Amino acid sequence: MPNEPNVLKNDIEVQPVQRSRVLHSSDLLPNIIKDRNIDGIILQTGLIANIPDGSSHVKAYFATDENKLYIFNNVSETWKSITLT
């Protein structure tokens, strides 16, 4: 059996944990991350012409050309929108 250092016996030096800053979404360049997950819902952005058909994992879509937020309604199987100003 090889002679391995044991932390409990103080054979190796314990290194302190270095704290680092948590990344914020503003730290990332635009369009690096396409989708955002909010409580299990994927929010995607783009032009209204590219809105998904509702069969994918995307259930929230922000149309950048209209400033509208669309939410997919699973009951009626349609997109419902609200205009944001």
* Beta strands per DSSP E along 1-85: 35-38, 41-46, 58-63, 68-73, 78-83
pTM above 0.85, yes or no: no
Q: Helix (H, G, I), strand (E, B), or coil: what is residue 15?
A: coil
pLDDT of residue 40: 66
CA gap 38, 18 in Å, rounded:
29
> What is the block-wise mean pLDDT of the chain (85 residues), using blocks of 10 residues?
61 72 74 62 87 86 92 91 84
pLDDT of residue 78: 92
Q: Which two tokens stand for residue 23?
A: 């990344």
